[in-house]
């Protein structure tokens, strides 16, 4: 007991000693701090959002080019590996979302719990629209959400109840109807439809304006407000091709001394390109509109600049480059800075229809140097045209350095988000067009491995160029990988397939150790391709590129060099069933491979099978005579070959009647002695018709 008390006192004394030392250290450091810096500076609070940490983590992760996009990883087994599969995957996933949205809208009573915090209102069922629920607050919320049909229904219910609606709210409803042309827009969560659906810009020469009676009612009631209702309706009319109605409304506004806003003038500028006059008249019309804006004190914005550049890019006149630069300088003096869309329109105008402007590549090079290493943001809808037209200009001028700079800018940070699905494909096609013309083989393969097959699905023409480049540069090890990638694209071309087979035959025949290594790989790929095609034909699946005689002869060579004897047997059987004639060079390659791989039984089987199915026209006797002079065959196999050709010579020396009968007997004998595991089809006996019965009928 005393020992325990002694230990307790020692423990407490040691703790007190450590506390005393800690306090002395703390007090001394505090004293030093107070003496050295008496003014404590508290940093300003940095406002943080709930997703700032996620954004900071996102900057540390680069775009992965070694696999499919992250949006396809809901089910790795269905991950697409070319554009067509990606499109089907995205649209199928979007169809599931649309089905879920339909259930939410049709059965809102099923959604009674709010499981998100904070609640996401776009995922919740909308408020049912009835005469009791229709109010200004609900109308305002519906307009903010962009629900056109619901807004029209709420407004009509309020009019039936004689409920007054504020003018500001009526003006917002008019702007909504004019902006969306009285139709519900594609929901924002329909990402796939927006990504793959908007291929072409709306043609402003086609009148697609929905003349809804509510638009006229709202406009007549809001006319006293002046500029706002006129500008909203003019924008809607011009954007949807209703030029006569828009021109009439502009004249009415001029007669009433109503100054339109800048958005209306932007639509008027865009409309000037649709006037069917000479290019000089269109340019003068554009300048007149800009002068009118200056006289009325309407300050231009970025939309005005881009609309002006859009019109100029479509016109053809001399000294367009200097005229464009002067206009951009004038807008700059007005405080309007160009965006990516401005540069895109200038480049489109310099590319031209027949030949590019001499100043094109100078302008493109200066823009790329200015934007190098920057994270770009879209400020206008036309900014999505920037990368497409820059790379197209590089392809027109065959400028490799500018094309590589454009690609590096495109891959930097999130700049790749400034292109949609179809334009991204055009962007990469133009890039590889420059590479195939100007780059060396190492550069071409480098960027191919970087971008294909996940970021971009190469075209059959590009694969044909790649195979030809591999043949010229003796790139033996690249051929099997290109083979796999090309067959994985799903867009096969007969010309490209034949080029691929020819290059595979050429590189596998080279006297190089690498050629010997890839022969089994090419043989395996050939057998899998042959099996796939035969199975597709047996199941009556439509094949755009069926197997041809030239393809089968090339496959026969590659299978023999493998060697893949089962594939050789399958190929010969298929050719016999489709009445395809094998080339002598292909059969010679098969027999030489049998000799090189010490397979005499296979050589004899191939000779007997081909002789029995195709006859002496293949002229295999010279090849067989070479085997008879060597020790490659034993005496039994030599006797079998001699028997085949002796029977053929004896049958040819007999008469015509005897040769027919002996020929049928020899066919029966050969079918029984075949050793290639391919059953020969026996001809059914056809009974001779009775002449008397035929004449009576």
Q: Which residue ranges of the chain lie beneath pLDDT 50?
A: 1-14, 17-19, 21-36, 199-200, 652-653, 655-675, 677-697
Residue 69, phi-psi category: left (phi > 0), alpha (psi -120 to 50), beta (remainder):
beta
For tokens 């087994």, the residue is 77
User: Cα-flanking dihedrals φ and ψ of residue 633, to 5°?
Assistant: -105, 145
25-34: burial string, b at 16+ Cβ within 10 Å, e else: eeeeeeeeee
207-217: burial string, b at 16+ Cβ within 10 Å, e else: eebeebebbee
C-alpha triplet 153, 155, 160: angle, nearest 5°: 95
C-alpha–C-alpha distance, residues 139 and 173, integer Å: 9
CB-neighbour burial class of residue 53 (10 A; exposed 0-12, middle 13-18, buried 19+): exposed
Neighbours of 456 (CB within 10 A): 22
- Give the domain 458-644 fold: 1.25.40
What is the tens place of the pLDDT at every residue in 451-483? Answer: 998 888 899 999 999 999 999 999 999 999 999
Q: Looking at residue 204, what is its pLDDT?
A: 59
What is the tens place of the pLDDT at every residue in 92-117? Answer: 888 888 898 899 888 888 888 888 87
Q: Looking at residue 473, what is its pLDDT?
A: 93
Q: Looking at residue 617, what is its pLDDT?
A: 59
Q: Looking at residue 315, what is its pLDDT?
A: 87
C-alpha–C-alpha distance, residues 389 and 345, integer Å: 8
Helix (H) or strand (E) holding 390: helix 386-397
C-alpha–C-alpha distance, residues 53 and 392, integer Å: 38
Contact yes or no for 608/621 (Cβ under 8 A): no
What is the tens place of the pLDDT at every residue in 363-392? Answer: 999 999 999 999 999 999 999 999 999 999
Q: CA-CA-CA-CA torsion for 488, 491, 496, 498, nearest 10 degrees? A: 80
Quickly list H helices, 181-242: 191-197, 213-222, 227-239
Q: Looking at residue 615, what is its pLDDT?
A: 66
What is the tens place of the pLDDT at every residue in 5-25? Answer: 444 444 444 455 444 544 444
What is the pLDDT of the chain when averaged over all its residues? 82
Contact yes or no for 81/454 (Cβ under 8 A): yes
Residue 477 DSSP class: T
Residue 483 DSSP class: H
C-alpha triplet 562, 564, 586: angle, nearest 5°: 70
For tokens 């050429």, the residue is 506
Q: Looking at residue 684, what is its pLDDT?
A: 43
Cβ-based neighbours of 450, under 8 Å, separated by 6 or more = 65
Q: Looking at residue 421, what is its pLDDT?
A: 65
- CA distances, 541 to each of 84, 423, 548 (Å): 19, 32, 16
Could you tell me which of 266, 253, 415, 433 has the C-alpha nearest to residue 336? Answer: 266
What is the tens place of the pLDDT at every residue in 625-673? Answer: 666 666 677 777 777 777 766 655 555 445 444 444 444 444 444 333 3
Q: Looking at residue 361, what is its pLDDT?
A: 94
Provide, rounded to the nearest whole percent, the portion of the chain with pLDDT above 90.
Answer: 47
Q: Identify whether 453 is preceded by a cis peptide bond (ω within 30 of 0).
A: yes
Could you tell me which of 357, 368, 379 has the C-alpha nearest to residue 404? Answer: 368
Global pTM reads 0.79
C-alpha–C-alpha distance, residues 417 and 411, integer Å: 9
Contact yes or no for 524/562 (Cβ under 8 A): yes
Q: Looking at residue 659, what is its pLDDT?
A: 41
Give the orientation angle of helix 460-472 with respect to helix 494-508, to 10 degrees.
20
């Amino acid at each position: 007991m005393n020992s325990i008390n002694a230990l307790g006192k020692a423990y407490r004394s040691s703790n007190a000693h450590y506390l005393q030392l800690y306090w002395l250290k703390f007090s001394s450091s505090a004293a030093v701090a107070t003496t050295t810096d008496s003014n404590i500076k508290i940093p300003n609070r940095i406002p943080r959002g709930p997703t700032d940490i996620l954004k900071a983590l996102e900057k540390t992760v680069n775009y992965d080019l070694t696999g499919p996009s992250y949006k396809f990883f809901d089910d790795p087994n269905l991950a697409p590996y070319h554009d067509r599969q990606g499109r089907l995957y995205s649209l199928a996933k979007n169809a599931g979302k649309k089905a879920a949205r339909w259930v939410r809208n049709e059965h809102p009573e099923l959604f009674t719990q709010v499981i998100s915090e904070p609640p996401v209102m776009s995922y919740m069922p909308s408020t049912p629209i009835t005469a009791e629920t229709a109010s200004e607050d609900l109308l305002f919320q519906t307009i903010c959400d962009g629900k056109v049909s619901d807004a029209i229904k709420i407004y009509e219910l309020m009019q039936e109840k004689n409920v007054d609606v504020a003018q500001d709210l009526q003006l917002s409803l008019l702007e909504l109807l004019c902006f969306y042309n009285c139709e519900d827009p594609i929901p924002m969560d329909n990402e796939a439809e927006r990504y793959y659906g908007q291929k072409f810009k709306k043609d402003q020469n086609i009148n697609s304006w929905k003349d809804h009676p509510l638009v006229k009612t709202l406009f007549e009631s809001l006319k006293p407000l002046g500029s706002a209702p006129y500008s909203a309706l003019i924008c809607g009319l011009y954007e949807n091709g209703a030029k006569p109605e828009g021109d009439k409304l502009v004249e009415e506004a001029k007669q009433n001394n109503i100054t339109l806003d800048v958005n209306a003038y932007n639509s008027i500028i865009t409309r000037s390109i649709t006037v069917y006059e000479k290019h000089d008249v269109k340019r003068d019309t554009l300048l007149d509109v800009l002068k009118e804006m200056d006289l009325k004190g309407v300050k231009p914005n970025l939309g005005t600049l881009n609309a002006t550049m859009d019109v100029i890019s479509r016109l053809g006149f001399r000294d367009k480059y200097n005229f464009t630069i002067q206009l951009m300088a004038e807008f700059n003096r007005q405080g309007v800075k160009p965006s990516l869309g401005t540069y895109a329109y200038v480049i489109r105008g310099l590319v031209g229809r027949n030949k590019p402007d001499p100043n094109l590549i100078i302008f493109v090079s200066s823009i790329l140097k200015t934007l190098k290493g920057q994270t770009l943001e879209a400020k206008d809808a036309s900014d999505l045209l920037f990368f497409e037209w820059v790379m197209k200009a590089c392809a027109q001028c065959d400028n490799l350095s500018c094309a590589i700079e454009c690609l590096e800018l495109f891959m930097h940070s999130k700049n790749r988000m400034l292109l949609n699905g179809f334009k991204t494909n055009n962007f990469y096609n133009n890039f590889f067009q420059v590479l195939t013309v100007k780059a060396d083989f190492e550069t071409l393969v480098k960027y191919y491995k970087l971008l294909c097959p996940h970021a971009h699905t190469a075209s059959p023409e590009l694969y044909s160029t790649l195979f030809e480049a591999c043949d010229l540069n003796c790139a033996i090890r690249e051929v099997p990988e290109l083979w796999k990638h090309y067959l994985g694209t799903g867009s096969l071309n007969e010309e490209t397939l034949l080029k691929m087979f020819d290059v595979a035959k050429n590189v596998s025949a080279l006297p190089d150790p690498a050629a010997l290594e890839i022969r089994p790989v090419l043989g395996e790929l050939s057998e899998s391709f042959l099996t796939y095609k035969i199975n597709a034909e047996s199941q009556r699946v439509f094949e755009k590129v069926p197997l041809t005689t030239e393809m089968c002869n090339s496959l026969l060579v590659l299978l023999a060099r493998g060697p893949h004897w089962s594939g050789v047997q399958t190929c010969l059987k298929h050719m016999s069933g489709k009445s395809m004639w094998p080339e002598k060079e292909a059969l010679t390659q098969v027999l030489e491979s049998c000799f090189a791989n010490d397979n005499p039984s296979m050589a004899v089987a191939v000779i007997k099978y081909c002789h029995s199915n195709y006859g002496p026209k293949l002229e295999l006797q010279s090849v067989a005579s070479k085997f008879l002079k060597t020790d490659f065959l034993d005496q039994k196999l030599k006797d079998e070959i001699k028997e085949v050709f002796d029977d053929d010579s004896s049958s040819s020396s007999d008469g015509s009647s005897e040769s027919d009968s002996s020929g049928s007997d020899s066919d029966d004998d050969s079918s029984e002695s075949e050793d290639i595991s391919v059953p020969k089809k026996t001809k059914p006996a056809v009974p001779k018709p009775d002449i008397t019965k035929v004449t009576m009928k």
